[in-house]
Homo-oligomer: A and B are copies of this chain.
Amino acid sequence: MNFVYIAVVAALAAIVYGFYQTRRILKLPSGTPDMVAISDAIAEGASAYLTRQYKVISVVAILIFALMWYSQGLTSAVAFLAGAFFSGVAGFVGMNVAVKSNVRVTQAAKKGLSSALTTAFAGGSVTGLMVAGLALLAVSGTFLLTGSSDNFTPLIALSFGGSLISVFARLGGGIYTKGADVGTDMVGKIEKGIPEDDPRNPGVIADLVGDNVGDDAGMAADLFETYVVTASAAIILGQLILTGSDAAVSFPLAIGAGAIIASILGVYFVKPGNDKKIMPALYKGLVVASLVSIAIFYYLTGAIMDGDMRVFLTTLIGVVVTFGMVIITEFYTSKGYGAVKHIADASSTGHGTNIIAGLAVSMRSTFAPILLISAAMLFSYQLYGLYGIALSAMSMLSLTGIIVAIDAFGPITDNAGGIAEMTNQPEKVRKVTDALDAVGNTTKAVTKGYAIASAGLAALVLFASFTEELEKLGVSIEFSLSDPKVLVGLFLGASLPYLFGAMSMEAVGKAAKSIVEEIRRQFRENKGIMTGKSKPEYGRAVDIVTRSAIKEMVAPALLPVIAPILVAFVLGAQGLGGLLMGVITTGLFVAISMTTGGAAWDNAKKFIEAGYLGGKGSDAHKAAVTGDTVGDPYKDTAGPAINPMIKVANVVALLLVPFLV
């Protein structure tokens, strides 16, 4: 049991690191008053959005709390609330640090790249380690307070709370950020011909707020949730399969603890070298964190699992998958490689061919990750059965701290660039933030690949827990593909990511439409805005996207809650099992194709903007902008939100187990 306490300590260490780093950031100079004013406006908008989002989620959470209390007892209901609360905190903290760091990065950029990168990455590392720390704390705490070998409901309830809030946060944030982005660009860039982040655009603050609530708070909630679900499922599987073994329970938490320490260490290795290259600086942190983690995993295997090398190898698989996903995603989304160039080339013959090429890339990009996940699954199963898969997934997720740190610096620099633009900073400042921003785009795509691969493994572990739970309660079902109920469940489950994807893309369209009308109205009614004589009402635009995003997020977010219940009711356990695997299967494909395809479209546009095929303003560029517009809801709304959605369906199924018996 000692290692569970160690997990709690490591989790607290991560949180302490977060507070310490935040204090350091706050002490940094925040620039001129006009910079601070904009930063404050962003902070205010982001806060307003999150407050309203959490308010709506609270209503849902309280309803479910009551239902859980009634059906599963008070302990589980409280665990559910804890999961929901911690997920909220993870998102909230991440966003708060981001909105404080952004202006300081702009200020630091005046001193040069190195200083700006360090500041931005410090902000990102707070989010990263807070997410990992809070997640590990939630799981180990719940286990300590409620754990016993025959009742996992509190852990499942905790996961449910985390997942449910995450699907709302990911989706709401995603709708907000892309609705604001697309809408603001549509009037600003296309209709009025003013540059991005131009202070005359009434939607510009809303757009900057979007980076924080979507790419930061949403992403943080997503990774928090994946971590909690994976750790919980590993514990549950450990207890169910290796019955009564304390080690099986401690080990997943111990590797979580070890990787947190390694991640904190890794953070300090992120410094640009003499060549001033940003990406290698970030990857240095990841490599150090991974190597230290591997060493710690080796030690822990000896200390907890009697030095069973099969166990150590499963953790190694998790690290390999992490790096594999980084490489694959880079291959499909980086400007240097074929896929992006192919889309860029196709832009020269028009909008249609750009889209066809992008869709083809997005579909093709699913193959390598699936191969990697499949191989990881087979090998870890070979090594240690279902528990082996759980350990690989846990090892992969244990690196959340450093991975999220590398990602979360992106939206901060994006904001920093916006502030620089709006306050007319000299060219060299903007150049620094632009360089950081470009790297942020790639790391964003990489994290999404990582998140989806880990979500796939996590979902498989959840599915295994589902079957094992049923077995424990005396219901032994072979979920056979020859059973029509399983098949129908599989088909219906497979339809959910499609339906969810369609709904979220349409939601972005609606949110964008709402802000387009507001921006047009302001330009029309206040002629002084375009001449720079009067300030636009940023707050109203923020408010309108907020309302639209929150309204649109509810229906799709409830889909993975309601569908499993309905299918379980109509088709029983067989249908439900099929549904889970169906959601995982198409979920993986839809999510990977959307996030990778979207990033490839984005970078094809950037590639052309860098001067290829006529550069900015050419016909090829116009076609590439169309691709980027399509890629936006693909990669930042629908695609990533499928992650938590897959897991909500699986966790709901776990909660339904007692009723299936």
**Which residues of A are in contact with B by a Cβ distance under 8 Å?**
182, 186, 190, 346, 349-353, 355-357, 359-361, 363-364, 366-367, 370-371, 373-374, 377-378, 381, 389, 460, 463-464, 467, 478-482, 484-488, 490-492, 494-495, 498-499, 501-503, 505-506, 508-509, 512-513, 516, 577-578, 581-582, 585-586, 588-589, 593, 623, 625-630, 633
Contact = CB atoms under 8 A, between A and B. Distances in A.
A612 to B, nearest CB: 18
Contacts of A463: 481-482
A498 B186 contact: no
A271 to B, nearest CB: 39
B577 A350 contact: no
A482 B495 contact: no
B478 A509 contact: no
16 contacts: A351-B629, A352-B627, A355-B355, A360-B501, A363-B501, A364-B499, A364-B503, A370-B492, A377-B484, A378-B488, A381-B484, A389-B484, A460-B487, A480-B480, A481-B481, A626-B626
Nearest to A578: B481
The secondary-structure label for the interface of chain A is: helix
Given A378-B488, A481-B577, 7 more contacts: A351-B626, A355-B355, A356-B508, A381-B484, A481-B481, A481-B578, A494-B589
Nearest to A501: B363
Contacts of A484: 377-378, 381, 389
A218 to B, nearest CB: 19
Contact of A585 (B478, B491, B512): B491
A585 B503 CA distance: 21
B629 A352 contact: yes
A446 B357 CA distance: 27
B481 A482 contact: no
A482 B491 contact: no
How many copies of this chain does the complex contain? 2
Given A364-B502, A373-B491, A357 B479 contact: no
Nearest to A590: B363
A581 to B, nearest CB: 5
A349 B516 contact: yes
Which 6 interchain pairs have the tightest Cβ spacing?
A: A352-B629, A364-B502, A479-B481, A363-B502, A351-B626, A381-B484
Given A349-B186, A509-B356, A467 B482 contact: yes
Given A377-B484, A491-B588, A498 B367 contact: yes
B485 A464 contact: no
A373 B494 CA distance: 13
Contact of A498 (B366, B516, B626): B366
**Most chain B beta carbons < 10 A, residue from A464, A467, A513, A630:** A630
Nearest to A513: B349
Given A363-B499, A377-B484, A633-B356, A370 B491 contact: yes
Nearest to A490: B585
Nearest to A570: B378
A649 to B, nearest CB: 14
Contacts of A357: 506, 509
A352 B589 contact: no
A463 B486 CA distance: 14
Contacts of A346: 509
B479 A377 contact: no
Nearest to A342: B506
Nearest to A507: B360
A351 B513 CA distance: 15
Contacts of A360: 501-503, 505-506, 509
B374 A492 contact: yes
A638 B397 CA distance: 37
Contacts of A479: 480-482
Nearest to A460: B487
A302 to B, nearest CB: 27
Given A350-B629, A626-B351, A378 B485 contact: yes
A265 to B, nearest CB: 34
B516 A374 contact: no
A352 B601 CA distance: 12
A350 B480 contact: no
Nearest to A479: B481
A602 B374 CA distance: 38
Contacts of A352: 182, 625-630
Nearest to A183: B349
Given A357-B509, A378-B484, A381-B484, A581 B490 contact: yes
Nearest to A493: B585
A310 to B, nearest CB: 15
A116 B346 CA distance: 41
B586 A585 contact: yes
Nearest to A355: B630
A506 B516 CA distance: 35
Contacts of A582: 585
Given A356-B630, A586-B585, A626-B351, A481 B491 contact: no
Given A495-B367, A502-B360, A509 B581 contact: no
**Most chain B beta carbons < 10 A, residue from A586, A593, A625:** A586
A513 to B, nearest CB: 8
A576 to B, nearest CB: 11
Given A353-B509, A356-B509, A502 B581 contact: no
Contacts of A581: 481, 487, 490
A464 B626 CA distance: 45
**Most chain B beta carbons < 10 A, residue from A349, A367, A389, A467:** A349
Contacts of A626: 350-352, 355, 626
